[in-house]
Amino acid sequence: MYEFTIIVPVFNEEENLERVEQELLKYTRIATKKTAVLFVNDGSTDGSQELIEAICNRNEMFSFINFKENRGLSAAIKAGFDTVETPLVGYIDSDLQTAPEDFNLLLEHITHHALVTGVRANRKDSFVKNMSSRIANGIRRAFTHDGMDDTGCPLKVIKTEYAKRIPMFKGLHRFLPAMVMLQNGTVLQVPVQHFPRMAGTAKFGLWNRLLGPLMDCFAYLWMKKKYINYEIKSKG
Protein backbone atom coordinates (compact mmCIF):
# COMPACT_ATOMS: atom_id res chain seq x y z
CA MET A 1 0.00 0.00 0.00
CA TYR A 2 2.84 2.41 0.86
CA GLU A 3 6.13 3.01 -0.93
CA PHE A 4 7.97 5.17 1.61
CA THR A 5 8.04 5.20 5.43
CA ILE A 6 9.26 8.20 7.44
CA ILE A 7 10.71 7.27 10.84
CA VAL A 8 10.26 9.95 13.52
CA PRO A 9 12.39 9.28 16.64
CA VAL A 10 10.84 10.87 19.73
CA PHE A 11 12.29 11.54 23.16
CA ASN A 12 10.35 13.98 25.37
CA GLU A 13 8.98 16.06 22.50
CA GLU A 14 5.35 16.56 23.60
CA GLU A 15 5.56 20.29 22.77
CA ASN A 16 6.36 19.50 19.14
CA LEU A 17 4.20 16.48 18.32
CA GLU A 18 1.01 18.24 17.20
CA ARG A 19 3.07 20.35 14.80
CA VAL A 20 4.81 17.17 13.62
CA GLU A 21 1.39 15.68 12.87
CA GLN A 22 0.25 18.76 10.95
CA GLU A 23 3.44 19.09 8.90
CA LEU A 24 3.68 15.39 8.03
CA LEU A 25 0.00 15.27 7.07
CA LYS A 26 0.61 18.20 4.73
CA TYR A 27 3.60 16.38 3.29
CA THR A 28 1.69 13.14 2.63
CA ARG A 29 -0.65 15.14 0.36
CA ILE A 30 2.23 16.34 -1.85
CA ALA A 31 4.63 13.40 -1.48
CA THR A 32 5.94 11.88 -4.70
CA LYS A 33 5.70 8.42 -3.09
CA LYS A 34 2.75 7.08 -1.10
CA THR A 35 4.00 7.72 2.42
CA ALA A 36 3.49 6.26 5.90
CA VAL A 37 4.86 7.60 9.20
CA LEU A 38 6.37 5.53 12.03
CA PHE A 39 6.95 7.17 15.42
CA VAL A 40 9.62 5.51 17.55
CA ASN A 41 9.15 6.66 21.13
CA ASP A 42 12.57 6.29 22.75
CA GLY A 43 11.37 5.88 26.35
CA SER A 44 9.90 9.38 26.76
CA THR A 45 9.03 10.36 30.32
CA ASP A 46 6.67 13.23 29.44
CA GLY A 47 3.28 13.00 27.69
CA SER A 48 4.73 12.09 24.29
CA GLN A 49 3.33 8.55 24.16
CA GLU A 50 -0.24 9.65 24.86
CA LEU A 51 -0.01 12.21 22.08
CA ILE A 52 1.53 9.68 19.70
CA GLU A 53 -1.29 7.21 20.32
CA ALA A 54 -3.90 9.92 19.75
CA ILE A 55 -2.22 10.94 16.48
CA CYS A 56 -2.08 7.33 15.28
CA ASN A 57 -5.72 6.74 16.21
CA ARG A 58 -6.91 9.58 13.99
CA ASN A 59 -4.55 9.03 11.06
CA GLU A 60 -4.38 5.61 9.38
CA MET A 61 -0.97 6.25 7.79
CA PHE A 62 0.63 6.83 11.25
CA SER A 63 1.87 4.02 13.52
CA PHE A 64 4.27 3.75 16.46
CA ILE A 65 6.83 1.73 18.38
CA ASN A 66 7.16 2.48 22.09
CA PHE A 67 10.45 1.59 23.80
CA LYS A 68 10.38 0.31 27.38
CA GLU A 69 13.25 2.68 28.26
CA ASN A 70 15.45 5.31 26.63
CA ARG A 71 18.04 3.65 24.37
CA GLY A 72 19.26 6.55 22.21
CA LEU A 73 18.79 7.87 18.69
CA SER A 74 20.71 5.10 16.94
CA ALA A 75 18.55 2.45 18.62
CA ALA A 76 15.38 4.30 17.60
CA ILE A 77 16.51 4.50 13.98
CA LYS A 78 17.58 0.84 14.01
CA ALA A 79 14.18 -0.23 15.38
CA GLY A 80 12.52 1.72 12.60
CA PHE A 81 14.71 0.09 9.96
CA ASP A 82 13.90 -3.35 11.40
CA THR A 83 10.16 -2.64 11.37
CA VAL A 84 9.42 -0.97 8.02
CA GLU A 85 8.28 -3.03 5.05
CA THR A 86 8.22 -0.35 2.36
CA PRO A 87 10.92 -0.28 -0.37
CA LEU A 88 12.13 3.13 0.84
CA VAL A 89 12.70 4.46 4.36
CA GLY A 90 13.68 7.86 5.67
CA TYR A 91 13.79 9.75 8.90
CA ILE A 92 13.28 13.23 10.29
CA ASP A 93 13.80 14.62 13.78
CA SER A 94 10.69 15.50 15.78
CA ASP A 95 12.02 19.03 16.43
CA LEU A 96 11.24 19.79 12.74
CA GLN A 97 14.37 21.84 12.16
CA THR A 98 14.20 20.33 8.68
CA ALA A 99 11.15 20.46 6.40
CA PRO A 100 9.20 17.32 5.43
CA GLU A 101 8.53 18.71 1.96
CA ASP A 102 12.27 18.47 1.28
CA PHE A 103 11.90 14.68 1.24
CA ASN A 104 10.72 15.18 -2.35
CA LEU A 105 14.12 16.68 -3.21
CA LEU A 106 15.82 13.53 -1.90
CA LEU A 107 13.33 11.14 -3.51
CA GLU A 108 14.14 12.63 -6.92
CA HIS A 109 17.55 10.94 -6.76
CA ILE A 110 16.94 7.74 -4.82
CA THR A 111 16.42 5.58 -7.94
CA HIS A 112 20.11 5.87 -8.79
CA HIS A 113 21.54 5.80 -5.25
CA ALA A 114 21.27 3.65 -2.15
CA LEU A 115 21.12 6.67 0.18
CA VAL A 116 20.35 10.35 -0.36
CA THR A 117 21.02 12.67 2.58
CA GLY A 118 20.21 16.30 3.17
CA VAL A 119 22.83 18.97 3.83
CA ARG A 120 21.57 21.76 6.06
CA ALA A 121 22.00 24.98 4.07
CA ASN A 122 22.24 28.21 6.07
CA ARG A 123 21.99 26.46 9.46
CA LYS A 124 19.97 28.25 12.13
CA ASP A 125 21.87 26.90 15.14
CA SER A 126 24.14 28.63 17.64
CA PHE A 127 27.78 29.38 16.85
CA VAL A 128 28.99 26.69 19.28
CA LYS A 129 26.66 24.06 17.82
CA ASN A 130 27.62 24.92 14.26
CA MET A 131 31.36 24.89 14.98
CA SER A 132 31.28 21.64 16.96
CA SER A 133 29.30 19.96 14.17
CA ARG A 134 31.72 21.28 11.55
CA ILE A 135 34.71 19.93 13.47
CA ALA A 136 32.99 16.57 14.08
CA ASN A 137 32.12 16.24 10.39
CA GLY A 138 35.73 17.00 9.45
CA ILE A 139 37.05 14.34 11.81
CA ARG A 140 34.54 11.79 10.53
CA ARG A 141 35.44 12.47 6.89
CA ALA A 142 39.13 11.98 7.71
CA PHE A 143 38.35 8.54 9.15
CA THR A 144 35.70 7.32 6.70
CA HIS A 145 36.50 9.14 3.43
CA ASP A 146 32.75 9.23 2.78
CA GLY A 147 32.86 12.74 1.28
CA MET A 148 29.78 13.81 3.23
CA ASP A 149 29.61 17.37 4.59
CA ASP A 150 26.76 16.94 7.10
CA THR A 151 25.90 13.39 8.16
CA GLY A 152 24.14 14.81 11.23
CA CYS A 153 21.38 16.23 9.01
CA PRO A 154 18.17 14.55 10.22
CA LEU A 155 16.69 14.18 6.74
CA LYS A 156 17.62 11.06 4.79
CA VAL A 157 16.12 8.56 2.35
CA ILE A 158 17.54 5.04 2.07
CA LYS A 159 16.61 1.98 0.07
CA THR A 160 15.27 -0.36 2.74
CA GLU A 161 17.32 -3.33 1.57
CA TYR A 162 20.48 -1.37 2.46
CA ALA A 163 19.06 0.06 5.70
CA LYS A 164 18.21 -3.40 7.05
CA ARG A 165 21.80 -4.60 6.51
CA ILE A 166 23.41 -1.78 8.50
CA PRO A 167 24.88 -3.19 11.75
CA MET A 168 23.92 -0.36 14.09
CA PHE A 169 25.55 0.52 17.39
CA LYS A 170 25.17 3.58 19.59
CA GLY A 171 26.33 6.66 17.71
CA LEU A 172 26.41 4.96 14.32
CA HIS A 173 23.57 7.10 12.93
CA ARG A 174 26.31 9.60 11.99
CA PHE A 175 27.96 6.94 9.84
CA LEU A 176 24.98 5.86 7.73
CA PRO A 177 26.53 7.01 4.41
CA ALA A 178 29.80 5.23 5.23
CA MET A 179 27.95 2.05 6.20
CA VAL A 180 25.98 2.10 2.95
CA MET A 181 29.25 2.56 1.04
CA LEU A 182 30.61 -0.57 2.75
CA GLN A 183 27.76 -2.38 0.97
CA ASN A 184 28.98 -0.90 -2.34
CA GLY A 185 25.98 1.41 -2.41
CA THR A 186 26.29 4.95 -3.76
CA VAL A 187 25.37 8.01 -1.72
CA LEU A 188 24.41 11.58 -2.63
CA GLN A 189 23.94 14.76 -0.61
CA VAL A 190 21.35 17.43 -1.48
CA PRO A 191 20.96 20.89 0.12
CA VAL A 192 17.81 21.23 2.27
CA GLN A 193 16.22 23.93 4.40
CA HIS A 194 17.02 24.39 8.08
CA PHE A 195 15.05 26.19 10.80
CA PRO A 196 15.53 27.15 14.47
CA ARG A 197 14.05 24.80 17.08
CA MET A 198 10.55 26.10 17.90
CA ALA A 199 9.87 24.16 21.12
CA GLY A 200 11.37 21.57 23.44
CA THR A 201 15.05 21.19 24.28
CA ALA A 202 17.99 19.85 22.28
CA LYS A 203 19.14 16.34 23.22
CA PHE A 204 22.77 16.75 22.09
CA GLY A 205 25.47 18.81 23.78
CA LEU A 206 29.18 19.34 23.19
CA TRP A 207 30.11 15.84 24.41
CA ASN A 208 27.77 13.84 22.18
CA ARG A 209 28.22 16.19 19.23
CA LEU A 210 32.03 16.33 19.23
CA LEU A 211 33.89 14.02 21.61
CA GLY A 212 31.46 11.12 21.33
CA PRO A 213 31.67 10.97 17.51
CA LEU A 214 35.47 10.99 17.72
CA MET A 215 35.37 7.80 19.77
CA ASP A 216 32.81 6.32 17.37
CA CYS A 217 35.25 6.81 14.49
CA PHE A 218 37.50 4.15 15.99
CA ALA A 219 34.53 1.79 16.31
CA TYR A 220 33.75 2.40 12.64
CA LEU A 221 37.33 1.60 11.60
CA TRP A 222 37.14 -1.70 13.50
CA MET A 223 33.80 -2.51 11.87
CA LYS A 224 35.08 -1.61 8.41
CA LYS A 225 37.97 -4.04 8.83
CA LYS A 226 35.65 -6.83 10.00
CA TYR A 227 32.63 -6.07 7.80
CA ILE A 228 31.25 -9.01 5.81
CA ASN A 229 29.92 -8.20 2.36
CA TYR A 230 28.97 -10.71 -0.33
CA GLU A 231 26.81 -11.17 -3.41
CA ILE A 232 25.15 -14.47 -4.35
CA LYS A 233 25.88 -15.41 -7.96
CA SER A 234 23.44 -18.30 -8.21
CA LYS A 235 21.38 -20.77 -6.22
CA GLY A 236 20.48 -24.41 -6.79
Q: Where are the domains of the chain?
A: 4-226
Count CB-CB contacts under 10 A for residue 204. 14
Nearest one of 9, 197, 201, 15 to 90, comparing CA atoms: 9
DSSP-based helix, strand, coil % in the chain, nearest 5: 45, 15, 40
Residue 197: the pLDDT is 63
Q: Given this model, what pLDDT does residue 35 score? A: 98
CATH no., domain 4-226: 3.90.550.10
SS3 222: helix
Integer Cα distance of 175 and 220 in angstroms: 8
How confident is the model at residue 65, as a pLDDT? Answer: 97
For the whole model, what pTM was predicted?
0.83
pLDDT profile of the chain (236 residues), mean per 10 = 97 94 97 98 96 97 96 93 97 93 97 94 61 65 70 90 87 84 92 74 58 73 77 85
| Contacts made by residues 160-163, CB under 8 angstroms, sequence distance 24+ | 160/81, 160/84, 160/85, 160/86, 160/87, 160/88, 160/89, 161/87, 162/114, 162/115, 163/81, 163/84, 163/89
pLDDT at 144: 67
pLDDT at 120: 82
Report pLDDT for 135.
65
